Structure 1
Amino acid sequence: MHQGLIADIAAAGLLPHPTHDSVRTILVSPLHHSEGPSADSLARLVDELDQALCACPAVADLSGRTIIALDNGSGDVCYERPDLGAVAQPNGSWMILLAAAPTPLTCAQNHLVEILAAAAQYYAEFPRQQWRMVDEEQCRETILMQLREHYSRQLTELKDADVSLPPRFQPTAGITADTVVATIPFGRMTAEAAQELAGFGYSVRFTPWHSVAIYGVSAAARDDLCTALTRLGMSVDPRHPANWISACGGQPGCRRAHADVRGDAWQQMHSSDYQPGVRIHYVGCARRCGHPNAQHWERLATAQGEYVETLMDADGRTPVTSGGHQLHEL
């Protein structure tokens, strides 16, 4: 590859970090929250946290499945089962998250990066046996103890009654003030669509929910933008099935998959019997990749050529119903 091109890509920040790229998955609330920090403030926090993580040799050993969340108080990314993170509080402080749950520890925003980087280091130093913190016995309690021991001056402890998350909120497609949110079926966008989206000249942010938030859209430009997004295969309709139907990679890309689950999910999206608001996730094998972090109907392809449908809890592993039933042959 031409060295000048490599230099340009590196200058744009698009090259993976040589040692720490697996621990740079930081989810951030995409929409403004009236009682939360500004978008610029959140962006600075992300940059500072990313730099702090990359400067810590220990965290390079964490799993690529590690998720860090910065929730601006909306109640969105804090429900994505993060290993660690924080939720902005109305008084300007941040409540620390560990193992997908709130803790009684809060800190001022100017200490947040330091606290989260320390928590990530403690997590890396814990004798881990699982991919995720939520599956590690005693890990959360050990990190809480270490934070209390080493950062008592920076931390404030809440009463148990005050330890809670804001009500859950998941942005769906639609228009809010000067922001347009468009759903991307299965989260897949062609290179041509990405180039055209960039060419519109707006600031954009991709979300964890197979959508893109487009900022600074004037009322006069909305209709033309929405028309262009539809032409590119996206939707700004909050009732579009792509808001609720998802799938793992499936065949032919995954050798473990028993079916072309995205093809079947696509057919479901365009069937007349689908009821908007019913969350369905198609999976090609028992690994259940890509499941929503919310209660959903799972359609699991089997080696016997059928789908088994089961109502699953948010963890993607625990059935809410007593058992599945065969839906149809593949």
Structure 2
Amino acid sequence: MLAAMPPPVPSPTPAPGAPRVRERGDACPGALRLHSADDGHLARLRLPAGRLTARQVEVLADAAEALGDGRISVTSRGNAELRGLADGCGAELAPLLAEAGLLPSPTHERVRNIVASPASGLDGLGAADVQLWARELDERLCAAPWAAGLSGRFLFVLDDGRGDVTGLGGDVTLVAVAPDAAHLHMGGRAVRVAAADAPRAALAAARAFLSAARAAGTGAWRVRELPEGHQADVRDVRKALAAEEVPEAVLPQGPPPAPGPLGPAALHVLAPLGRLTAGRLRALLPADEVRLTPWRGAVVAGTDPARLPALEAHGLITRPDSPWAGVSACTGRPGCAKSLADVRADAVPGRPGLPVHYSGCERRCGHPHGDWVDVLAAPGGGYLVDGASVPRTDLAPAVTTARTAPRTTR
């Protein structure tokens, strides 16, 4: 049965230098615990590695049309959100998701936060196919009763060595460094593990975090929230798996795949402002599978890249030189009561360049990681573009300048 979430109660702001104390569990929505918004209820479906089978694509599109507003939002973790859900839709939504394999564990559904390099295994790049690791890690995660104690914000990141997802702020990050080896990073330390042990090592690291969080007594949701003296030690994994410490392991950094072809039988498209209509989602088929991405798009595996013009005709972003590539926005008005503006209606693309994110309030929900142009709705109208006040009518030139100007460190 779906349940509406209670309104979030903010944790007290800690004094400078004091550890943050979480006095409640996180309020992240899930597929069974909904968030109440101004446009109805919201359900967030965790999709490990963003993966959807062809049948799941159809089910998700049908659910959006029959129970929601007909659209699917792609999150910055490659998950899917259904909005505009009515009260009492649980009798239909939960069984529908479960039957399609989108709800394998009611007790663990909010902790299945696994991001993996979306093009892994498709374009010949990367040291290993981390999509396979993601599937094993998800199975192990759902099978471990203690793992249900993780926060809905705790994040596993699996990078195939190209560095496209290492910057997403994972609590536990696995990086393939060779076909038979991986580095596991947590809390500023790293160990080398066999590739065959990588999913098991990631789960062991998460358990080490929970042990450290219990010992700290601060209710930490993320590794970075652990107070000094209570850090989760990735070296515990070394003891369990005969791993060796990597003293100076550096996370690789690389760009996300550009919209367009990915090898001979795959392609990558972006969703305008991070939302897919049910029709656009269905347009990705036929395919072996669809992988939603942290860049609010989809990698389509097992399809002909010659389909790209047809997908562009459906309104999807298929070229890296599209001015809408890299443009995202929060929900804004009228869906969010905290928003000061209808940011999705006000959004303008600007010349291609840095990612740009439109936010209706200072929470900046869903903003990208790394360097990006911050467009924030201001009280009384207008926007702040990287802190500079800009009237709504002048957004286009201001955003173009910000996306293409040389940057200083933010």
TM-score normalised to structure 1 length: 0.81
Matched, 1:86 2:174: yes
Match of 2:389 in 1: 326
Matched, 1:10 2:98: yes
Match of 2:222 in 1: 132
Q: Is the 8 A contact 2:164 2:256 kept in 1?
A: yes
Match of 1:66 in 2: 154
Q: Is the 8 A contact 1:70 1:87 kept in 2?
A: yes
Distance 1:182 1:10 in 2: 27
Match of 2:119 in 1: 31
| Secondary structure in 2 matching 1:255 | coil
Match of 2:201 in 1: 115
Match of 1:177 in 2: 263
In structure 2, the CA distance between the partners of 1:147 and 1:80, relative to structure 1 (3 Å rule), is same
Match of 1:284 in 2: 360
131, 136, 140: which is aligned to 1:48?
136
Q: Is the 8 A contact 2:208 2:234 kept in 1?
A: no
Q: Is the 8 A contact 1:202 1:215 kept in 2?
A: yes
Q: Is the 8 A contact 1:123 1:139 kept in 2?
A: no
Distance 2:230 2:131 in 1: 27
Distance 2:344 2:90 in 1: 36
TM-score normalised to structure 2 length: 0.66
Q: Is the 8 A contact 1:247 1:283 kept in 2?
A: yes
Match of 2:318 in 1: 236
In structure 2, the CA distance between the partners of 1:258 and 1:16, relative to structure 1 (3 Å rule), is farther
Matched, 1:96 2:184: yes
346, 353, 375: which is aligned to 1:299?
375
Matched residue type, 1:205? R
Match of 1:320 in 2: none
Matched residue type, 2:253? P
CA RMSD in angstroms, aligned pairs only: 2.6
Query: How far is the alpha carbon of 1:145 from its aligned partner?
Result: 4.6
Query: How far is the alpha carbon of 1:295 from its aligned partner?
Result: 0.8
Q: Which runs of 5+ in 1 are unaligned?
A: 311-323
Q: Is the 8 A contact 2:167 2:369 kept in 1?
A: yes
148, 152, 155: which is aligned to 2:243?
155
Matched, 1:206 2:292: yes
Q: Deviations over 1:71-124 (max 9, x none)?
A: 11110111111111200002621111225x5x3311002222221112112223
Q: Deviations over 1:140-167 (max 9, x none)?
A: 833325334x42x52112242xx11223
Q: Deviations over 1:167-220 (max 9, x none)?
A: 32211212232221111112211112222323x2343211110111122334xx
Q: Is the 8 A contact 1:193 1:232 kept in 2?
A: yes
In structure 2, the CA distance between the partners of 1:228 and 1:19, relative to structure 1 (3 Å rule), is same
Q: Is the 8 A contact 2:111 2:152 kept in 1?
A: yes
Query: How far is the alpha carbon of 1:61 from its aligned partner?
Result: 2.5
Distance 2:377 2:156 in 1: 31
Q: Which runs of 5+ in 2 are unaligned?
A: 1-88, 394-410
How many residues were matched structurally?
297
Distance 1:227 1:77 in 2: 27
Distance 1:5 1:250 in 2: 25
In structure 2, the CA distance between the partners of 1:201 and 1:144, relative to structure 1 (3 Å rule), is closer
Distance 1:113 1:140 in 2: 24
Query: How far is the alpha carbon of 1:278 from its aligned partner?
Result: 2.9
Query: How far is the alpha carbon of 1:43 from its aligned partner?
Result: 3.6
Q: Which has the higher contact order (CA 8 A, sep 6+)?
A: 2
Q: Is the 8 A contact 2:333 2:341 kept in 1?
A: yes
Query: How far is the alpha carbon of 1:47 from its aligned partner?
Result: 2.2
Distance 1:71 1:114 in 2: 16
Counterparts of 1:220-231 in structure 2 under 5 Å? Answer: 222-223=305-306, 225-231=307-313
| Secondary structure in 2 matching 1:58 | helix
Matched residue type, 1:190? T
Query: How far is the alpha carbon of 1:2 from its aligned partner?
Result: 12
